[in-house]
Structures are given as C-alpha cells and as structure tokens.
Amino acid sequence: MAEGKRLEELAELVGGTLRGDGSVVITGVASLEEACKGDITFLSHPRYKRFLATTKASAVVVSPELADTMAGRNLIVVQNPYLAFARIMASIGPTRHPSPGIHPSAFIDPSATIGEDVSIQAGVFLSRGATVGNNVVLYPGVYVGEDVEIGADTIIHSNVSIREGVRIGHRVIIHCNSVIGSDGFGYTQVGSRHVKIPQVGTVVIADDVEIGACVTIDRATTGATVIGRGTKIDNLVQIGHNVKIGEDTIIVAQNGIAGSAKVGNNVTLAGQVGVTGHLEIADGCVIGAKSLVSSSIRTRGVYTGYPLGEHKRWLKAQTLVQKLPELKEKLKELEERLEKLEKK
C-alpha cells in the first residue's frame, strides 16, 4: 500500500469538514466490518451504525445527519459520503495498469496507428487501419478489427473482441470477454428458410462509458448502434442492432434490449429488464427489476412489472394478489348468501 495521506489532506481533497485528529495517517480503505488501524471507511445509511461499535477504522466518512451521533471519532463530514469515499479510494489506492510498452507476442498490422504511452499486452491483435489513442491499455488477448478507432485513456480488459469499424471514445472501460460489433440478429424468412440480412453498420461508444464483462453490443444493420456519453452497463447485457442509448443511463445485469429501441438520457434499467424492439423510453425513467417494456414510455416516471405499469399502482396490485385466496372465499360466501336469498 502507498505511504498514505493525512486525514486533513483527504478532507481537503473531498471538500469535507474535518472532525478529530487531522494528523492521522490513512494508508488504506475498507468497509466498516473489515477496516483495521490506518484504514478509512464510510457510513451513509443509519442501518450500518451497528458496526461502529466494533470497527477498527482510523476514520469514517459520514453525512452531517449522522456525524453528531459519532462523538469521539475521527470524521470527514460530507453531503455524499459514498462519492467522497470513492475519491479517497482513487487517491490512496489507484488502480494499477500495465506500464506503457508493446509485448513481443502482440500482432500489430503495419497500417495501424498507435498513440503515445500505449500499453499493448501479450496476444493482442490489431488489424489493418486500426487507430489506438494515447494512454490506451489493451490487456492480453484483445482483438481489434479493421478500421476500429479507440480514443485516448481507454482501458480494454482481456479477451474483449472489437469488430471492424467500431468507434470507441475517450476514457471508456470495457471489461473481460465482451464483444462489441458482432452481427445484429437480422433475418428474413423465405418459405421455411431464414435468410441472413447483411449487417453493414457499426457501433459507436461515446466518451466515459463503462461496459461490464460478457456484454454483447450488436452492430447496426445500417447506420450505428449508439451508446451515449457516461452510460454504465453492467455484466451480461445484450444490446441489439440499431439500439440508441442516451447519456448517463444505467443498465443493470442481464438486461436484453431488442433492435432499434431508443433509451433516453438518465434512464435506469434494473436487473433482468427486457425491452422489446422499435420503442422509446423517455428521459429519466426508472424500470424495476424483471419488468418487460413492450410499448413506448413517453412520460418520465418509475415503472414496474409485466404488463408494465406505474410503480405505485403495481405495488397496490401486488398487495391485492396476496389477498386473492381470501377474496375468493369471501366472494364464494357472498354468492351462496345471494343464492339463498333468491330462493326465498
């Protein structure tokens, strides 16, 4: 671990208010349960206050609402403890990537363009006409197809395949075993046979996007499949051909987004959401886990379920579902009483 930083330095780094001994040296970061002397941790929710009695952390990043209940501890008080803690983690223990250089086993086509301070690891394959920007890191086994463009400061982890013509922006992170630019799933039926439609478009990944492990993003039939700036995609997500995803959107694991769907800015798709093709999701929408979006959503809101509905109504419906057996018995009882009255 690094030499560490004084607590007062970290408070200044994150714009927080220091309480306690600012000269304490912080050498590591950890959770409340796992922290040791020299570590800094954070508390952002009251439910975890029970760990304060046993934590060995030298300091805690905490919100103003919780700080007054933690007298006697070294604190950094900020409005967003999680964000501050992330900045401290980057400061104390930055992620270490391979040093610049090209491994002897990497294949680089003579027509490829390589920027400055690039790290190209063992088994990387750079095809004809590929362009790699400054400070890019290509981990072992990365495949870069013909005429691919990779922007500066991008990190591509092991065994990622980037197919021909794909354009990737600056500061993008792509995790292991993802495939960018595979053919879209396009066929037309002739009699009993399925005839492949050529997929001649591309994929455009904008700046500051992060793509998880084992994600597949299909190239467009024509034009481009687009992932907007700042969007974050979790592991095991499938994005179909000609999909357009806006900026700063969150897509959680095991989502499937069918071809030509348009997802707006600042949308959140929770785990295992399905989005059918050729529809639109408005900016700012939140779609609950395991939901199916089968028609366009034009109004910002929180939606859940299948069939999809406004979240609060869905919760009420779920409450009624739990009561259906009792309601059935009650209905049966009322029917019997009505039948007896009609016989009189």
Q: Which residues of 11-27 are buried (b: 16+ CB within 10 A; e: fewer)?
A: bebbebebbbebebebb
- Tell me the CA distances in angstroms from 195 to 151, 187, 214, 220, 240, one per residue in order: 36, 5, 27, 17, 18
Can you tell me which residue has the tokens 């707006």?
264
Whole-number Å distance between alpha carbons of 133 and 110: 16
172 neighbors 208 (Cβ within 8 angstroms): yes
| Kind of pairing between the strands at 244-245 and 224-227 | parallel
Write out the DSSP string of 143-207.
Answer: EE-TT-EE-TT-EE-TT-EE-TT-EE-TT-EE-TT-EEEEPP--EEEETTEEEEPP---EEEE-T
Contacts of 263 (CB under 8 A, 6+ apart): 243, 244, 245, 246, 249, 251, 257, 269, 275, 280, 281
Any catalytic annotation for residue 241? yes
Residue 71 token pair: 């007298």
* Count of CB atoms situated within 10 Å of the CB of 240: 22
Which one-letter DSSP state was computed for residue 130? Answer: -
* Count of CB atoms situated within 10 Å of the CB of 93: 13
Choosing from 157, 241, 278, 311, the catalytic residue is: 241
Peptide bond preceding 46: is omega within 30 degrees of 0, i.e. cis? no
Whole-number Å distance between alpha carbons of 81 and 32: 13
Q: Which residues are catalytic?
A: 241
